[in-house]
Amino acid sequence: MSVVRVLVVEDSLTVRGHIVEVLSATPGFEVVGEAGDGKTGIELCARLRPDVVTMDMMLPVMTGLAATEYIMAYCPTPILIVSASTNRGELFKTYDALAAGAVDVLDKPLGTEPDDAWGRRLVAALRIVAKIRVITHPRAKLGGLASQNRVAPTPLPSSLPRVVGIGASTGGPGAVLSILRALPADFPAPLLLVIHISEPFGLALAEWLDSQCPLPVRYARDGEALPGLGQASVLMAPPEFHLELQGVRLSLGRGPERHSCRPSVDVLFESLARSSGPEALACLLTGMGRDGAAGMLLVKDAGGLTVAQDERTSVVFGMPGAAVSLGAARHVLPLDEIGPFLLQTCQRPAKGRAGTR
């Protein structure tokens, strides 16, 4: 069995000692270095070339965000953020680090967890993160990557999409941000968004996205009406709540998890197929697992448009790959082409309705 070599970057001696203790006691893991500040973390990463880095956000000398950006630019390595992130500023830095290429995030141990529950979560997260392929400068390089999975475009339907659903998981914050930044403030169709992220870290994600792109972004409210065409907005599923479109209204619920996820992309897409049919557009982005693939197939079968992110630009091709395997994706596009595709599709004149926007 191959050994996962870990670099631990954490300024708290107590937390760093706990991480090292957990990993040292776990077969298949080796702690190859420890750093108490971001600058030392960068130097050790370049010299030791670990398989994975655990990265705190609030570090002396150089912050975890700055260290993440440097590592992803010059010695790309899978990074698991391990952060307390209890206030808005720390949460925003965490989202910035995820957008810069960090793979996932785990909350720091509180000391009140039963037995070794936190240690098991740490080990499970590191096993996954260490296997993920990362690329240099993900935000700068994606535009130059050619698609390996492109599906030939199919004719666009005659009706304009009246709602766009977007689902993402691992690598999702950065991918969603890339798409939303490509859409103008007057984008005509409302967007419904599901991103898998644990509750402590999802609390301010809508606010962060809102601060980063032209479109207004907020969490959806149970029972509110779906905005009409021409009322640009992005409505996001809150942490631990499924988001559905029921007729012309949004519904939030704490029903059973789907694919171990709540919110679930499948739940959203299935509701779009029922409520909007050929006027729905479902977009499935990078993420681990299969959530969203079956729901996307229902949207396609109902006559709606479907687009999946391609393998080359996905941090993890699990979710979009499952959709491609099912034949659910009418279009498979690199990340930098998805935003322009949404804009072209939703703003074009519909057949028989020339001049309609």
Catalytic residues: 169, 196, 291
In 3-state terms, what secondary structure has residue 303? coil
Longest Cα–Cα distance in the chain: 68
Contact yes or no for 265/319 (Cβ under 8 A): yes
Contact yes or no for 316/171 (Cβ under 8 A): yes
Question: Hey, what are 235's tokens?
Answer: 């409505």
Contact yes or no for 304/273 (Cβ under 8 A): yes
Alpha-carbon dihedral angle through residues 286, 266, 301, 251, given to the nearest 10 degrees: -120
Question: Hey, what are 11's tokens?
Answer: 């300024």
DSSP string over 182-202 = TS-TT--S-EEEEE---HHHH
Phi, psi of 261 (to 5 degrees): -125, 135
d(CA 288, CA 325): 15
DSSP string over 320-348 = HHHHHHHT--SEEE-HHHHHHHHHHHHHS
In 3-state terms, what secondary structure has residue 165? strand
Contact yes or no for 61/67 (Cβ under 8 A): no
Pairing of strands 242-246, 249-253: antiparallel
Contact yes or no for 29/4 (Cβ under 8 A): yes
